[in-house]
Structure 1
Amino acid sequence: MTKPLLLLALLGLGGTLHAQPAQTADYPIQAVPFTKVKLTDNFWLPRLRINTDVTIPASFQRCESTNRVKNFEMAAARSGKFATIFPFDDTDIYKTIEGAAYSLSVQPDAKLDAYVDGLIKKVGAAQEPDGYLYTARTIDPAHPHAWAGPERWVNEREMSHELYNAGHLYEAAVAHYEATGKKTLLNIALKNADLVCSVFGPGRRSVAPGHEIVEMGLVKLYRLTGKAEYLRTAKFFIDARGHYAGYDAKSPDPFRNGSYWQDDRPVLEQREAQGHAVRAEYLYSAMADVAALTGDHQLLAAIDTIWRNMVTKKLYLTGGTGAVPGGERFGANYELPNATAYNETCASVADVYWQQRMFQLHGHAKYIDVLEKVLYNGLISGVGLDGQSFFYSNAMQVKASASHPQTEPARAGWFECSCCPTNLARLMPALPGYVYAQKERDVFVNLFVSGTSEFTLNKKLLRITQQNNYPWDGELQFTVSPASATAFNLLVRIPGWARNEAVPSSLYSFAQPATQAVSIRVNGRPVAYTLRDGYAVLARTWRKNDVVAVSLPMEVRRVVAHPLVKDDQGKVALQRGPVIFCAEWPDNHGLTSNLLLPAATPLTATYQPALLGGVMTLTATVPAVLVEPAAVRTVPQTFTAIPYYAWANRGKGEMTVWLPEKLTAVDLLSQPPAVEATLAK
């Protein structure tokens, strides 16, 4: 029996689905599943626990209190009035179920399991007999949500989000089945997917989904069931882009020319990361999936080109993407403003998915370098240290003025459009799945996270244990224990930042080369190694309890931007290891916009266990600009920088990532009298 046939039998679905041939193509590199990696890490394990104990319960509670659950109850009764704002609010329940399922995979919880079962019953009751599931219409079909259009699917290209809802349903259903073995949500998803496949396709309705993710969800259903129609429909949606005649191709407005939805031209002709950043990165992730599963080399070439554009011209130093608030979208090349940076948290989630897929296609460390940058900076900045307050957008600079002395946005527990909190809820429990990967005789160590993983390599059990204090310390130890002596290649990523590469492009660079080198020892003895695509290749016959020690230099590095990034000229940013630092008001006399960081300023790194959950700080004595009635002068002041991810956990005030080196580069502000008095002390 082939794998898909066996899986269908195990699912109890063989009588309802046609048997499909086993897939023959896939990603050449496979990630080690998150369920095979048990964390002991001081940095990530507490965050995963907070996600399980606080974020997921809070998300469910807020789905209840904001009537998202009520929408499903009314849809089941076919009576009432849609009780929230957006037609995609259904997805907040799906995403939180997905996060809960991942959590249940590694931490059984009978109470949570029972609650999710109850929600799934409500979701199933809201589904229409043919599989359609969209509360914004089903509650009152005669008066659907204004974005939905008068009939099913007619407004899908731009506003309805019917297929977006479906995609998140599919992803949640696969996660729930794999975690619990229950088919309740999976059966709902398969019924909906069969409807979608019957409506869309060659000779049927055609649309480029307005908000991508249904493509990724269909691929997951294909992987689980082996039903080729799901993969074909995912590819159909991707290929549908760029063929809609209703757009004004000459209009500069991205909403009118289709670029906002990545629909202005066929995907094979797209050359830049464009439009709404979350939609775009979900699309690029799906393109990678389909390219891997179909062997479509043209599709692969297209996403390679788009990736290069994004990393060389449209990536923030923190890994954030989507510079422009209007449309939450990518801007023009090198358009990376600081004060108005958007950097939606959901875009960081989507970018993690995309970078992982690019690595699995190509096996190059540069993709994990970007992924790591996102994880340690632009992603976790989106959630407060309490696990239940969030940023929708992630600024790079916040300034005060006389009329607006405190302009920093406050973190919020929820949003009218609350996609970001629930997206974080589903990503965090799966993070251990990004640590290791394998391909034939190659075992990749991608992330430096303490814990133990056990998986099969060449039909033999292999256990790898990591011990480190990353990202604060660069001393890494790996204990390699195969069941019996085994020859394979251990590929340890040497991060770009440890190879004098701020990012895998010229968009950002270090002001000065590193003074220390990476060193590796095996069983206490220094070893020479070959560097391949950013990985140190350690080829040997491994035996039980072999120990690899890697020393990464943890120097404080100054980062400068490409000359075409206008906002960053004459300024520097600070990085240590993978962590980007910022100056925030509580540590700097209430201001950051008046600070200078001259090139020769020495900086001291100190770990502060009682600050912000335990962080490394950078300190120095720097000139601070003082504005007086008749003059502008500088005074020496103690400067402190904290990790960017930890800002906005101590109230409102100024923050900046990029600091001017000279007074001529300062954007002087009209300072409130209270601020002047503070500076004068």
Structure 2
Amino acid sequence: MMKKICLLVITCSWLSVNAQKQDYPIQPVPFTSVKLTDHFWTSRIETNRTVTIPASFARCDSTGRIKNFVMAAEHKGKFCTTYPFDDTDIYKTIEGASYSLAVHPDAKLSAYIDSLITIVGKAQEPDGYLYTARSIDPVHPQSWAGPERWINESKMSHELYNCGHMYEAAAAHFMATGKRNFLNIALKNADLLVRTFGPSKKHVAPGHEIVEMGLVRLYRITGKADYLNLAKFFIDQRGIKKYNDKSKNVYENGTYFQDNEPVIAQDEAEGHAVRAMYLYSGMTDVAALTGDTAYLKAIDRIWNNMVTKKMYVQGSIGAVGDGERFGENYELPNTSAYNETCAAIGSVFWNQRMFLLHGDSKYIDVMEKTLYNGLISGVGLDGKSFFYTNAMQVSDSFNHPDLERGRSGWFICSCCPTNVARLIPSIPGYVYAQNGSDVYVNLFISGTGNLKVNNKDLKITQQNNYPWDGGLAFIINPSSAMDLNLRIRIPGWAQNQAIPSTLYSYEQSSAQKIEIKVNGKAIDYQIKNGYAVISKKWKKNDKVELTLPMDVQRVVANTSLADDIGKVALQRGPVMYCAEWKDNDGKASNIIVPKNTVFTTAYEPALLNGVTVLKANVKSVNVDEGAQTVSTENKTMTAIPYYSWANRGKGEMTVWFPEQVKYVELITK
């Protein structure tokens, strides 16, 4: 019988008597209970299984990441990669491969993973310590590691970061296969941390968060309270010490590490964006499991700051390349936008947790925007080329690095490709959630979900062509008649809300009302926390239908965003659009989209694995440097989904379009 796995909720027959009682009020339906049949996501999951995961393992081998573990076991040789966190690329790929195995058994892949786990296990020191950057040559460790264990942890050693990704991978492998070989390695290491850190032991604020999330995963499996307590201890260490000259040296703790003040006093999304997302996710886990109200208030404040002042229109975060970090409020430049793929993945983790905590659709709205735009833009349609950063504007004039290099197969710091490998196969686990008789439909993806409601089986079948079409149908099949509250998310974008804040808005509201039919008859319904609530006694083959408006919306930015004044972005459904050089006579930076522009849409199955494109008659700007004149002419513009850009070679791209000539940035070489 196939074992069930869930990113957040894990149930085991051997939980200890001390297993947690308090938890998220809403529980996600495990991804192993959701079978997708759509093209959009199933093709990506299959590409991840057949291309991305094998390519990641191959690159871990060819770059020396596996060799580091072999040398660590022998305590001889020289650390042969660049960063001490390179160990995590193996862990993350094992995690993604384990998720894949859970729904697609593969004996060859399973055996290969076991062989890697054997190598990892041999590299573990007798007391549980596992960190190849030191174990290979303890007398001469990698420079970031420091001369002794943990001495540089609050800065850049990444010892605890490595532990966190190991725990995540080991938990995934155990739940997918039932094997304890990797889990035992992780538990031995976690027990070392429990012996080493704590109120009367070593104190440290982890330099790169994720060990907190990993410890919670192990707590869920074992019920061992020490792991949850240690996760909270690490979080509470932030902001305790007083550091000198923080403003001049952001890499010595301070805001870069979210370590400038205690977490319960923080109210801005700040510092390194990936670190921040993992910290806030860990805080949300601990808040749910302990009921810590100070944590709850802090994460609510921080989330509001991020969504109202520090998020790009396509869901990306982390605007500033120097430090891969959040900028100041409203600091969201287009030409230098950083937008690390890992930060988008972390945002998905956090927003899912915030929904489970609060039950409000606004968190899923942000998660959906990130999933369909700023996250999957980070992986090419071939499954083996990637963006570490995700640009908002690329043109010859601005000399953006993405224009020069295009997508890359691997990076010296390759955290993003392996993070993609572990996220993509878990997508089905974000579709449904449940709280007793309340069943939440969060994402619209064709397929079937199998749930238990009050100990009765419930099957929900979705039929749609989302995100290209707004027509949604749900077949409700209980094993026998049952009372339940079906909560279908009515996306903010379908209710004239570009994002759940005033950071972006639609230039013109749509008046279309969303009608819901049950078994062909229109019904009255209430919207609560962004969900249409349909409460009734459900019978076999009950059918719910609704159509979401798929108008092309012109999105405008808050006037505090200087780069976007006088410009519009284009959105249809959950998908943001861009213009790329390939479809627009070799340029994208010279397009003007006047206010009266009318767009037409067409689905092109042969383009970019099948996309709906936007077309319109617009203006383009021509600069004659010799004559020193500027003129405009009519042209037909084609826009493609933002996530699909840079799959046909290198060239210009833009998300924001000026509405008038005066807002065109006329920069010439």
- Under TM normalisation by the shorter chain, which class is it? over 0.9
**Aligned: 1:577 with 2:573:** yes
State the AA in 1 paired with 2:518: V
- Alpha-carbon offset, residue 516 of structure 1: 2.0
**Aligned: 1:172 with 2:169:** yes
In structure 1, what is the equivalent of residue 58 of structure 2?
61
Structure 1 gaps, min length 5: 1-5, 12-18, 672-681
Distance 1:321 1:81, change over 3 A: same
In structure 1, what is the equivalent of residue 198 of structure 2?
201
- Alpha-carbon offset, residue 408 of structure 1: 5.0
Give the Cα separation in 2 of the matches to 1:129 and 1:253: 38
User: C-alpha offsets along residues 209-252 of structure 1, whole Å, 9 cap, x if unaligned?
Assistant: 00000000000000000000000000000000001233434x25
Choose the corresponding residue for 2:214, options 211, 214, 217. Answer: 217
Give the Cα separation in 2 of the matches to 1:465 and 1:226: 34
SS at match of 1:607: strand
- Alpha-carbon offset, residue 518 of structure 1: 1.3
- Alpha-carbon offset, residue 257 of structure 1: 5.7
**TM-score of the two chains, using structure 1 as the length reference:** 0.95
Choose the corresponding residue for 2:551, options 516, 540, 555. Answer: 555
In structure 1, what is the equivalent of residue 290 of structure 2?
294
Is the CA contact (8 Å cut-off) linking 2:209 and 2:275 kept in structure 1?
Answer: yes
1:406-555 pair list within 5 angstroms = 407-555=403-551
SS at match of 2:591: coil
Is the CA contact (8 Å cut-off) linking 1:568 and 1:658 kept in structure 2?
Answer: yes
In structure 1, what is the equivalent of residue 365 of structure 2?
369
- Alpha-carbon offset, residue 21 of structure 1: 1.7
Aligned residues: 658
Distance 1:344 1:528, change over 3 A: same
Is the CA contact (8 Å cut-off) linking 1:7 and 1:225 kept in structure 2?
Answer: no
User: C-alpha offsets along residues 401-425 of structure 1, whole Å, 9 cap, x if unaligned?
Assistant: 3989993541001000000000000
**Aligned: 1:36 with 2:45:** no
State the AA in 2 paired with 1:219: V
Give the Cα separation in 1 of the matches to 2:76 and 2:490: 58
Is the CA contact (8 Å cut-off) linking 1:52 and 1:100 kept in structure 2?
Answer: yes
Give the Cα separation in 2 of the matches to 1:7 and 1:67: 36
User: C-alpha offsets along residues 62-92 of structure 1, whole Å, 9 cap, x if unaligned?
Assistant: 0000000000000011110001000000000
Is the CA contact (8 Å cut-off) linking 2:587 and 2:652 kept in structure 1?
Answer: yes
SS at match of 2:325: coil
Choose the corresponding residue for 1:396, options 392, 395, 413. Answer: 392
In structure 2, what is the equivalent of residue 338 of structure 1?
334
Is the CA contact (8 Å cut-off) linking 1:247 and 1:258 kept in structure 2?
Answer: no
- Alpha-carbon offset, residue 517 of structure 1: 2.0
In structure 2, what is the equivalent of residue 82 of structure 1?
79
In structure 2, what is the equivalent of residue 679 of structure 1?
none
- Alpha-carbon offset, residue 332 of structure 1: 0.2
Choose the corresponding residue for 1:638, options 618, 636, 639. Answer: 636
State the AA in 2 paired with 1:68: R
**Aligned: 1:273 with 2:261:** no
Give the Cα separation in 2 of the matches to 1:525 and 1:7: 40
SS at match of 2:228: helix
Choose the corresponding residue for 1:106, options 100, 103, 107. Answer: 103
State the AA in 1 paired with 2:294: Q
Distance 1:201 1:142, change over 3 A: same
In structure 2, what is the equivalent of residue 627 of structure 1?
623
Give the Cα separation in 2 of the matches to 1:516 and 1:7: 44
In structure 1, what is the equivalent of residue 48 of structure 2?
51
SS at match of 1:582: strand
User: C-alpha offsets along residues 107-151 of structure 1, whole Å, 9 cap, x if unaligned?
Assistant: 000000000000000000000000000000000000000000000
Is the CA contact (8 Å cut-off) linking 2:336 and 2:400 kept in structure 1?
Answer: no
Choose the corresponding residue for 2:349, options 347, 353, 356. Answer: 353
SS at match of 1:186: helix
- Alpha-carbon offset, residue 364 of structure 1: 0.2
In structure 2, what is the equivalent of residue 182 of structure 1?
179
Give the Cα separation in 2 of the matches to 1:185 and 1:358: 30
Give the Cα separation in 2 of the matches to 1:193 and 1:259: 27
User: C-alpha offsets along residues 565-614 of structure 1, whole Å, 9 cap, x if unaligned?
Assistant: 11000000000000000000011111111110000011111111111111
State the AA in 2 paired with 1:599: K
Give the Cα separation in 1 of the matches to 2:397 and 2:234: 48
SS at match of 2:324: coil
SS at match of 2:612: strand
Distance 1:515 1:219, change over 3 A: same
Give the Cα separation in 2 of the matches to 1:440 and 1:164: 36
Is the CA contact (8 Å cut-off) linking 1:400 and 1:406 kept in structure 2?
Answer: no
In structure 2, what is the equivalent of residue 664 of structure 1?
662
In structure 1, what is the equivalent of residue 300 of structure 2?
304
Give the Cα separation in 1 of the matches to 2:572 and 2:242: 50
Query: Quick check: 232-241 or 19-28, which moved more?
Result: 19-28
Give the Cα separation in 2 of the matches to 1:24 and 1:406: 48
User: C-alpha offsets along residues 38-76 of structure 1, whole Å, 9 cap, x if unaligned?
Assistant: 010111000000000000000000000000000000001
State the AA in 2 paired with 1:472: W
Structure 2 gaps, min length 5: 1-9
Choose the corresponding residue for 1:118, options 115, 120, 127. Answer: 115
